[in-house]
Amino acid sequence: MLLVLDVGNTNAVLGVFARAEKLRGGSSDADNSGRYDLLVAHWRVSTNPTLTVDEYGVLFRNLFAMADLEAKAIQGIIISSVVPPVDSTLRQVCERYFHTKPLFIEPGVKTGMPVLYDNPAEVGADRIVNSVAAFEKYGGPCIVVDFGTATTFDCVSPRGEYQGGVISPGIGISAEALFGKTARLPRVDIRKPARVIGTNTVSSLQSGLYYGYLGLVDGLLELLLQETGEDTKVIATGGLAALIGTESKYIQEVDEFLTLNGLRIIWERNAVLKQSRESSAVKSSPVKTARTSSATSSAPSKPWPGKGRSR
């Protein structure tokens, strides 16, 4: 099985993929070839940089136990993180509790998507992962709207190139700023009110947050579509995607598991690349297989793909 983790500033989302053949009693899941077809479990937990390796280990083990999964069944782990302070901790968790070295989405990882950003290394790992998944599933051109701590709009060309996008404050940040900067306004749940015109403080706040943010999303999408074309597919993902995306004039799909599937796709692409390199090493130097494989795995990483280059 494959464990995927998307670590955001507020929440971390975990998913476990298995092969359909394995679940039907077919080929061994320990084989690193082929596709992981089925998402068999997923969880959303708070991102907490203060937790220790053992505390994260206990958390993950408990989640696995509740889903009747065994940690020893995990054969691969891939992580997308925008919270650098937890990266080292998660790396140790994977090695100590799952006995597996994780693959982080970082420069040098094969994504299959050229990045046309001025400085490709600046692009958040989750934005690349979302774009890869969206192009794989929906084709291009497409725009991914990810409703997280920040709301990001990522544009992919018809040829599968990451073009760039927009970063705006998330609706949760807006709500907290409003509560924190005013003396008498209360903190409220973010939800769609029955009417736009609020008749009390709570409903007025909810209307402003919900419809105001919906206006921000649709306003930005309207401008982006003028540049990407009317045939662009717009996909929403993230914690509040269902709340906002279902009311948007431009969002066509709400895909809750887009990021998890993107991590799965990238892991599979790198697994195929690793197998190809190992196979080439065996053919070129069959007597020194172990030494050749070691040299390959310790080779320096290549930078993020530059303009016009396909990975």
Q: 154 and 165 in contact (C-beta within 8 Å)? A: yes
Residues 6+ apart with CB under 8 A from 260: 4, 6, 13, 15, 17, 39, 42
Rounded CA-CA distance 203/21 in Å is 51
Q: Is 29 a catalytic residue?
A: no
Q: Which of 6, 29, 126, 154 is catalytic?
A: 126
Handedness of CA 99, 101, 103, 109 (dihedral sign): negative
Q: Where are the beta strands (DSSP E) in the chain?
A: 2-7, 11-18, 38-46, 76-81, 103-104, 142-147, 150-156, 162-169, 233-238, 253-254
Contact assessment for residue 11 and residue 45, using Cβ atoms and an 8 Å cutoff? yes
Give the span between the Cα atoms of 15 and 169, in whole angstroms.
Answer: 26
**7: which 2 tokens?**
């670590």
Please report, for the chain, how many H helices and E strands are present, in that order: 9, 10
Instruction: Report the catalytic residues.
Output: 126
